[in-house]
Structure formats: structure tokens, C-alpha cells
Amino acid sequence: MTTTHCPYCALQCAMHVEPSPGGGWRTRPADFPVNRGGLCRKGWTAAGLLTSPDRITAPLMRASRDAPLLPTDWDTALDRVAGRLAALRGEYGPDAVAVFGSGGLTNEKAYLLGKFARLALRTSRIDYNGRFCMSSAAAASSRAFGADRGLPFPVTDLAGARTVLLAGANPAETMPPLMGHLAAPALVVVDPRRTATAEAALRGGGLHLAPRPGTDAALARGMLHAARELGLLDTAYIERRTRGFGAAWAQAAAWWPERAERATGVPAAHIRRAVRTLGRAPGAYVLTGRGTEQHSTGTGTAAAWIDLALALGLPGRRGSGFGCLTGQGNGQGGREHGQKADQLPGYRRIDDERDRAHVASVWGVAAADLPGPGPSAFELLDALGTEGGPRALLVFGSNPAVSAPDAGRIRSRLAAADLVVVADFVPSETAMAADVVLPVAQWAEEEGTVTNLEGRVLRRRAALPPPPEVRTDLEVIGALAARLGQPAERFPTDPDLVLEELRAASEGGTADYSGVGADRLEAGEALYWPVPRGGAPTPRPFLDRFAHPDGRARFAAAPAGTPAEAPDDRYPLTATTGRIMGHYQSGAQTRRIGELAEAEPEAFAEVHPDTARAYGLSAGDRVRVVSRRGSAAVRLRPTGACPRGTVFLPFHFPDGQSANNLTNPALDPVSRMPEFKVAAVRLEPADGP
């Protein structure tokens, strides 16, 4: 029996992996403060991935673009990839090659992939799927607090609160064990839909505020206005621990609750009640999720919630706080170690001379040799195969053919590239569109570290070896680097050696891992970053001061923006997307788990029964949801939990069912987050004209 952590979401529940009496492998919950002996159904069934008949067990390659993917040997596949990369770089320059990473990669993989892109390929074009996940919350937190640690406190602190406000998060479906920590507090759930989490709030005497999609910032501003009106501002805290309240109030002054009601649809009385619940509680938290962040105004919207929390004096106070619920398994670590277009390891900035000099010294190169910042994930993908854009794409652990916004457009960009290489362990839709597929080890077959949503660094352990013809991502990166002329010692394939180097590269950075030694991990120490070398971990980094040089947090005062697209006569409904209990991300993994696929085998569209009636549609009808960008043919599920005029689609399904065929790639100007949560659509019978 091996004790490790779940392959899926950022809660990173601890689990035992052991042989199953009936053959194969099984998981069992392990004792860990985050999951306290619980798992969700994805965790209970995760071992199915290890023996999936769909597993890729040999490299695959096409003889030409139209030829089928056929098994080949590693040398042939790697020689082909390295040869084509060298040729394309020779013809078009280093930026002809782009790299796309993942918040599912371990810290070591994320680190080595960033180093590979910048040293072996010398490309500035590297970004990852976390850009689509919570980049706007990360940008807002960095600006407000000087550092972005999803939850700057242990999850277990939540249980002691009197009130928790959840904005755009549905943990009852997405990370059920978290609900165990939310049983005692009164919940205020902000979500256009009456989700399972909203139901839990109502059952517990809490509140469900249902703003129209894309109006959260106006709601947060209205709540800040109400807080002042009700005398609930923490003026001593604002004076002592923050800067910029005046500008934030200048924004909020225009959002008296009745006006916020008109903009959002949330009754002014509920706005005031929610603020009273939060502002008078001796312990209160504001937590955001993707619903509030995945907008073309995402950074401003996340900042509006931070401003509310600051005005109430919550962040950096024991027993209270602000945090973002990270989504992907290593979403936190994935954005700290250099696979982001604008970052170097340790959450260092790629455009900061001192940060560049530090990382360059660890890598043994001149800072001037490091490329500068590159385009964001969507911009990188959207330029594939275009004039001046990248000609080749290397994808590690991601499935942008399904998960990117305006996914049909991105699929055509993948087809236009000269070379697409995918390292994955299942035949995702992106892998099946690639020229070369490199089969890699998965979660319980290799060692490494991940950082969960609390900023706690965890050891993932190998329970079994990978299949014989499967390699680790680190080995793939090392083999390609060697073929591109890099010295072997520069790209170690032993995860412990990579961690050692990562520690040095992060030392003194915002996300300082220099004290994350293998011995401390083995001992089970709770290593919340920053962990300076030889120093103590930091479970609550903002208790005394925030991470800005003056120790104070910043109000953002961003205007309450509106979605890039509004309903009109041709597209009169608003589509929004999200997760469901049984699936994860693009579904490439969970759609291959029998029990999960049987429970939710296909995509669907939730609408209010009145909306269904207005279209003459009934439960179970196949409908086509159509936006300006594409369509998705799905089964209709009328439910009173979905507001009138809104269509909800889960984003875990591919091809003609893909919710991301509809989504709008309008980008947030700060974080470059696409607008996943609002798209104007119409409904048509699927088999109609």
C-alpha cells in the first residue's frame, strides 16, 4: 500500500493506492487534514486510470498529416520531433516553437518544462492551461496582497468561521470534502444557478445570491456600499493595513444596493443581509472560484471581492480571510515555477532584471540569454500556423482542443501547425490531432511534488511502475533537450534532483521553496510556502503584514465592467459553463472511468422550465446551443435551479458536444483570462433545419 494524493483537483486529498482483491488497483481515503478520511467519487475511482484499456503504451507517429497515428519506437519518435523542431527553428527562429503546459504537472515537471522552453528552445512562447483557470484571481491577489497564494491559511481554519461567502464556487460538486469544513459556518453563496452548494447554504439558514451572469463586480461593489451604509467598515484596519480605500469607495459610491439590484437582479434587501452576515461575524471568509474569475473582466471582478473583504477587515486576520479556491490538482504549484508566459521559478517576474539574474545564475547562463515574456495561452494557440506565429506546438498534460475557448477555432489552428507533439497518458482529443504522441507516466507511477490550494507542498509517491514503453515527462524533456544539444546535467530526469534545483531557483522569490527538503516532505511536515532554507513554513503569511514592501494591502478600485457579449435578438440567451461532480477538466481522464462515464455519459444543457417551454422543448430533447462561434448538440435538462434566460453547460465533453465551441475568447486585459462564463446563444432543435 502506498499513500499519495489524488490525481485530480487542488484539494489534493490523501489516499492509499493498493492492489484490489479483484485484480487491478484501488484507492482508499487516507488521513489528512484537508479530506479527513473522505474522497469524492472521482477520488474513489481514480485507480481506474492506471489500468485503463485506453492507455497509450507506445509512442505514436504519423507518416504524414493525413496518415493514421501508428506505434513506433522512442528513438524514432524523439528523433523526428527534435529534427523537426531544429528545422523549424532554423527556418523561422526560436519563437517558431511554442510550449503548452498544465496545472496538472508536478512542480518538478512545470519547472523543467519552463527551463526547457527558455534554454533548449530559446522560445518566449510558453504558457499553460492555468491561464484558463484562475489567472485573473492570481493577478488580483498579487496586486492586492503582493503575493498570490490561493488560500493564505489552512483549509481547516474555515470550520471556525461564523460566515463564509463563496463567490462563483460550487465545492459541493467540484471538491465535496471541502464541504466538511463548511458545515458550521453560515454560507452566503453567490452563483447564478441554485447549485448544490447554494442548496446547502439555504438548508443551513444561509443565503443564495443569484446575480445575472457577468454582474458579480456590481454585486461586490453594492455590498461594499452597503457595508459603509450599515456602519460595518473596519476603519481601523483600513487605516492601518491598507492603501487606496478612497479610490475603491469612489467606485462603490455609485453602487448603492438598489442600483446594484437593477444591475444584478439580487434584491437590495439580500445584499444588505449578506453584508450584515459577513460584517458582524467574529470570523468570516470571502472565497472566490471560477464563476467570478473566468471573465474578460475577471481581474477587476476578483479585485472587487477582495476590496469588499479588505473593507470588512478580513484578510490577514486570524480566523478570517480572503482566498481563491484553486481548481487544478497542481494549479497553485503550476503557476509558480516558470511555465507561465510572464514568470520564472519562485513566482519571479520574467521582466524583472534581478529575478532574471537570479534564475540565470542557477541555470548557468547569462540573464541576457533568457527570452522575455511571451503571449498568453489563447493568443499562443490562436497564432499557430499563422504568419509570424509558432509553427510547432509541444503540449504536456493538457487538452486545449476541448478546454480552450472558441475550441473549434483552436482545433483548426492545431491542424494548421507544421508539427504538434503531445505528451500524455490517454488519447485526449489534442493527442489524437497530433503528429507525434509520447506516452508518459501518470500520477501513481512516479514521484514528485504538488502544491495544493492552501500553498502546502505535498509528496506524490509511486505505487507501481509505469508500463514498459512509457517514460516520465522529465525523461521526455531530458531526451529532447539532449537531442537539441543541451548537456545532460542541465536537464536531470530524477525528480529529487529537479526539486533541488527548483529550491535554489525559487530561493528569495515570492514562492520560496528553498526549505522544501525531501527529508521534511518525508517526515510529513506541513510545508506551506514560503519555506525559506532552514526556516519555518508559513501557514498564514499575511497575519502580520502583506507581501508588498510596505506591508499593506492595496484596494484595486477597478470599475465594474460588463461582459464582452450581451444577448440580442439573434442570440437571446446567456450561456455559462462549469463543472459537474463526476468529471474533471476536459474529461479526457474521467470519461475513461466506467462508473463516472455511466453516471454522466454525455453533455447536457440546463435551462429554466419556462425557457424550455418558450422554445417548445422538453426534458431529454436534443438541442443545438448556438453562439457566434459554433454550436454544441446536447440533451436538454429543464430545472428550476437554472435562472430564466440562462443556459448552463458542463465543459467536460468533446467534439460536437463541447461547451467551448460556444465560449468567447475575449480576454481580460490584465490576466489574459478568456470569457468562459458568458456567451450569447440561442437554442435550436438538434435535428431541425
The bridge status of strand 343-344 relative to strand 348-349 is antiparallel
CA 405 distance to own-chain centroid: 14
The bridge status of strand 456-460 relative to strand 527-528 is antiparallel
Closest CA to 630 of 406, 295, 333: 406
What is the closest distance, in whole angstroms, from the C-beta atom of residue 643 to ligand SF4 in the complex?
A: 27
Closest CA to 531 of 500, 501, 552, 510: 510
Q: Select 7 or 315, whichever has its Cβ closest to ligand SF4.
A: 7
Q: Select 10 or 309, whichever has its Cβ closest to ligand SF4.
A: 10
Q: Select 13 or 78, whichever has its Cβ closest to ligand SF4.
A: 13
Closest CA to 680 of 577, 604, 568, 605: 568
What is the closest distance, in whole angstroms, from the C-beta atom of residue 206 to ligand SF4 in the complex?
A: 22
What is the closest distance, in whole angstroms, from the C-beta atom of residue 265 to ligand SF4 in the complex?
A: 31
What is the closest distance, in whole angstroms, from the C-beta atom of residue 156 to ligand SF4 in the complex?
A: 15
Measured CA to CA, the distance from residue 585 to residue 525 in angstroms comes to 30
What is the closest distance, in whole angstroms, from the C-beta atom of residue 230 to ligand SF4 in the complex?
A: 36
Measured CA to CA, the distance from residue 118 to residue 422 in angstroms comes to 19
Q: Alpha-carbon torsion 265, 285, 514, 549, what sign? A: positive
Would you say 631 and 569 are in contact if contact means Cβ atoms under 8 Å apart? Answer: no
Q: Select 32 or 145, whichever has its Cβ closest to ligand SF4.
A: 32
Q: Which cell numbers in the block locate residue 580? A: 459537474
Q: Select 9 or 144, whichever has its Cβ closest to ligand SF4.
A: 9
Distances from the Cα of 624 to the Cα of 489, 603, 682, angstroms: 54, 11, 8
What is the closest distance, in whole angstroms, from the C-beta atom of residue 52 to ligand SF4 in the complex?
A: 17
Would you say 453 and 474 are in contact if contact means Cβ atoms under 8 Å apart? Answer: no
Measured CA to CA, the distance from residue 656 to residue 633 in angstroms comes to 6
Q: Which residue has the cell 475577471?
A: 298
Contact positions vs ligand SF4 (CB under 6 A): 6, 8-9, 11-13, 35, 39-40, 42-43, 175-177
What is the closest distance, in whole angstroms, from the C-beta atom of residue 55 to ligand SF4 in the complex?
A: 20
H or E element that contains 337: none
H or E element that contains 560: none
What is the closest distance, in whole angstroms, from the C-beta atom of residue 9 to ligand SF4 in the complex?
A: 3
Q: Select 58 or 175, whichever has its Cβ closest to ligand SF4.
A: 175
- Return phi, psi of residue 251, to 5°: -75, -50
> Using CB atoms, what's the residue nearest to ligand SF4?
43
Q: Select 13 or 444, whichever has its Cβ closest to ligand SF4.
A: 13
What is the closest distance, in whole angstroms, from the C-beta atom of residue 166 to ligand SF4 in the complex?
A: 15
Q: Is 152 exposed, middle or buried (0-12, 13-18, 19+ CB in 10 A)?
A: buried
Q: Select 39 or 402, whichever has its Cβ closest to ligand SF4.
A: 39
Q: Select 40 or 117, whichever has its Cβ closest to ligand SF4.
A: 40
